[in-house]
Amino acid sequence: MCGFVGFFNEEDNQARNTEIVRAMSDRIYHRGPDQGDEYVDDCVSLGFRRLSIMDVEGGSQPITNEDGTKVLLFNGEIYDFQPLREELEKAGHVFKTHTDSEVLLHGYEEWGKGLLTRLRGMFAFVIWDRNKRELFGARDIFGIKPFFYFKKGKKFIFGSEIKSFLANPQFEKDLNVNRLPDYLCFEYIPTNETMFRNVYKVTPGTCFTVKDGKFTEERYFTPQYDIDEEKSVEYWADLIDSTFKASTKSHAFADVEVGCFLSSGVDSSFVVHEMAKQNKIKTFSVGYAEEKYSELAPAEEFAKHEGVPNFTKKITAEEYFGATPIIQYYMDEPLPNPSAIALYYLTGLAAEQVKAVLSGEGADELFGGYHYYREPLDFAKYMKVPQPIRNVLGGIASHLPAFHGRRFLMRGRYGIEKRYIRNNYVYNHSEVDGILKTPIPSKDPSFYTKKFFEEAGDVDDISKMQYVDMQTWLVQDILVKADRMSMANSLELRVPFMDKEMLAVALKIPAKYRITDKTTKYALRMAAEKNMPEKTSMMPKKGFLTPLNDWLKRDKFYGMVKEKFQGEVANRYFNQDAIMKLLDDHKAGKAHNMKKIWSIYCFILWYEKYFIETEDPTKTDPFAGRADRLRREQA
C-alpha cells in the first residue's frame, strides 16, 4: 500500500524537478510513512510513499526492470502474484524483490496490457517506458485504489490523491463550479470529473497511455451478468462460502499483522469468522455514547463467540465535529457521508496496533444488501398495468393532498430507469436552483445513471439497480471514504468481497436468491449461516448510524454550522436564507434536513481547506491522522 505522484517535466532541470516531486510526495506522506523515493529523468518525474506490508525490507519503489528501461509505481496488492511470478521466472524474467509489485513490471514486459486480465487484486499503477517515451497506467476493476490526473494542454500531472498536485507549479487550482449541482444531488460527482477543473479520475477497469502529449484511455473490463436460473439457492450459498474462504485467505497474506473491522452486521462478521480460523487476529469497533446509535454490544458479543479480542472506542460529539474539517481535506473532494467520521476514528483505533485490516465493503452492492432493492418486488404487479393508465393515476395523485399510497402511484408512472432514486440522494434536482446563490445549468440525476442501466443489459430490475450502484455509489462514495479514511491513519484496508472471483459468482446468482420479500442478501446470509450464529447471519442491515441528526439540534453544534452558513463561502455559492431555513427548521423539529445541511457544511469546510487556507492542514490540525502526527513529533 502506498501513494504515488508524477508529472511530465515542463523544464529540463533535474534538481528542480526532484524538489517538486518530493514536495508532491510529502503532501501524501500519510499514505506511506515508511519510505519515500523518486525517479527523475529528462522527461518525467516520479515519486513514491510506501507503507510496508510485503517484503518490508526490500520492496522499495520506484522499481526498475533488469536493464532500467521501465520504471514502476504501484499502489495496492496483487493477491495472485505468486503463480504469476513463477510463470514470469520460467519465461526468463529476473526479480530483485519479493514484493507483489514487481510482477506488474515484468508482467507488462511479457504480456503488455494483457497483464490486466490476469490480475486478482486492488491496484493503481503506472509504468514509464524510457525507450518509447510512453507512460502506461491502469486502475483495478472495482476502483478500490484511487488514481487522478490533471491534464491541460501539454501539462500532465498524476497521483493517488489530488492534494499532491498543490505542490506542483504546473497545477492550476480552479473550482469546477459547474459540477456543484451534481454534488448536491449525489453527494459526489457521478462522472470521471472532480470538483477541480481539469482534474479527472481514471475510470475503474480502464488503462491508458500518454505519449507525445496525447492521452488515450481504453476499458479492459466491464462487468456482465450471466445469470443462471437452473441452480438452487443451496448451490449458490455453497459457492459463495467456498469462494469467500479462498478470497479471505488471499487477502490475509502479508508480512505484517492483519486485523479486522467488526460491526454488528453479517458482512464484517463473516470476514472476522474466516480470518479467525486462519490467524490470531484483533478486531476493532467504534460506536457512540448514545446507545441507540451504537453497535458495540453485538460486535463485542460476536468477538467473544469467535474468541478474538475486540478493541473499541466511543466517539463524542466534540470529537466528531472537531475532526470533520481535516477529514474533508483528506477526502480530496467534498464527501458528506456522515459515516466517514466514524470510519476515520475506527481506522485510527486499528492503526495503533496493526498495519492492515480486512473490511466488509462491497457485499451489499454485489449480493443485494440494500432494502430499496426490494422496490421492484413491490411494483411487480403494478407494472403490468398499462403505461397510459399508470400515467393518469400518477398524474392525479401528484395533485392531491398526502394520502397512503400517493407516492407509490406517482412513482409507478415510471420504469426503473426513472424510478431509481437512491435513498442517499441528498437534494432533488428540482431543489438545487433554490439552494444555489446563482442557478447553474445542470442535468437530472437520471441522465447520469441512464448509461449504466443500458450497460446492465437485458436483466431484471433488481440486477440493474445493483449494477448502477456498482458503477456509481460504490466507486464514488463507499470505496472513497474507505480508502481516504484508512490512509489518513496510514492503515491498509483490504476488501475480500471486492474480489474478481466473488464478482464472478455474484453476477450469476438469480435476483430471487439475492432479494426476497423477507430479507436481503439471501444467498450470502445462507452461506454465513453455515458458519455463524443465526442471530448474526440474519442481522438486518442498519448502515453506519450516527447521532448527527440529534447533535445538529444542540445549541453548540447548531452554532458551529450557523457560523459557516452565514460566512464568506456560503455567501459566495449558496442562497443563505434558504440554507439557514433548512438549519432552523431542523433544529425546531419541523423537518429532518440532516443530510442536506451536512452536505453544504462539508462543502464549505472542504472549500476552506483547499481554496482559502494556504498551509498544509496536517501540520497544524490536532485531528490530523497518525502518520502526520508522527511526522510532526519527529520534526
Exposure letters 384-401 (e unless 16+ CB within 10 A, then b): eeeeeebeebbeebeeee
* In 143-253, alpha helices (H): 180-186, 233-251
pLDDT > 90 in the chain, percent: 80
**pLDDT beyond 80 at 383:** yes
Lowest mean pLDDT among 44-58, 102-116, 194-208: 44-58
What would the mean pLDDT of 169-188 be, rounded to a whole number?
Answer: 97
Lowest mean pLDDT among 151-165, 291-305, 534-548: 534-548
**pLDDT confidence of residue 544:** 58
- Number of helices and strands in the chain (H, E): 28, 17
**pLDDT confidence of residue 443:** 93
Rg (CA), the chain: 24
Give the model confidence (pLDDT) of 67-100 as tens digits.
Answer: 889 999 999 999 999 999 999 999 999 998 888 8
- Local confidence band at 542 (pLDDT 50, 70, 90 cut-offs): low
**pLDDT beyond 90 at 353:** yes
210 Cβ contact partners less than 8 Å away, ≥ 6 residues apart: 8, 134, 135, 137, 156, 216
Strands 44-50 and 35-40 turn out to be antiparallel
Average pLDDT score over the chain? 93
Residue 475 per-residue DSSP state: I
Cis preceding linkage at 622, omega within 30 = no
Q: How many CB atoms lie within 10 A of CB 92?
A: 9
What is the C-alpha separation between 109 and 233, in angstroms, rounded? Answer: 43
What would the mean pLDDT of 253-259 be, rounded to a whole number?
Answer: 88
- Local confidence band at 629 (pLDDT 50, 70, 90 cut-offs): confident
**pLDDT confidence of residue 120:** 95
Backbone φ and ψ for 517, nearest 5 degrees, come out as -70, -10
What would the mean pLDDT of 155-169 be, rounded to a whole number?
Answer: 97
CA neighbor of 195 nearest in space, from 211, 206, 182, 210: 182
- Which cell numbers hold the place of 517? 420479500
**pLDDT beyond 90 at 112:** yes
What would the mean pLDDT of 575-600 be, rounded to a whole number?
Answer: 96
- Calculate the CA dihedral of residues 130, 132, 133, 134 and round it to 10 degrees: -110
Active site residues: 2
Q: How many CB atoms lie within 10 A of CB 169?
A: 9
Lowest mean pLDDT among 236-250, 411-425, 480-494: 411-425
Backbone φ and ψ for 457, nearest 5 degrees, come out as 85, -165
Give the model confidence (pLDDT) of 413-472 as tens digits.
Answer: 988 888 886 555 799 899 999 999 999 999 999 899 999 999 999 999 999 999 999 999
**pLDDT confidence of residue 61:** 82
- Local confidence band at 546 (pLDDT 50, 70, 90 cut-offs): confident
pLDDT > 70 in the chain, percent: 96
418 Cβ contact partners less than 8 Å away, ≥ 6 residues apart: 446
**pLDDT beyond 90 at 604:** yes
pTM of the shown model: 0.95
- Local confidence band at 291 (pLDDT 50, 70, 90 cut-offs): confident
**pLDDT beyond 80 at 40:** yes
For residue 598, the surrounding DSSP H or E stretch is helix 594-607
What is the C-alpha separation between 589 and 284, in angstroms, rounded? Answer: 35
Which residues make beta-bridge pairs with 211?
Answer: 134, 214
**pLDDT confidence of residue 537:** 64
What would the mean pLDDT of 62-70 be, rounded to a whole number?
Answer: 91
What is the C-alpha separation between 614 and 198, in angstroms, rounded? Answer: 21
**pLDDT confidence of residue 356:** 93
Label each residue of 494-508 as H, E or C.
ECCCCCHHHHHHHCC
- Local confidence band at 326 (pLDDT 50, 70, 90 cut-offs): very high
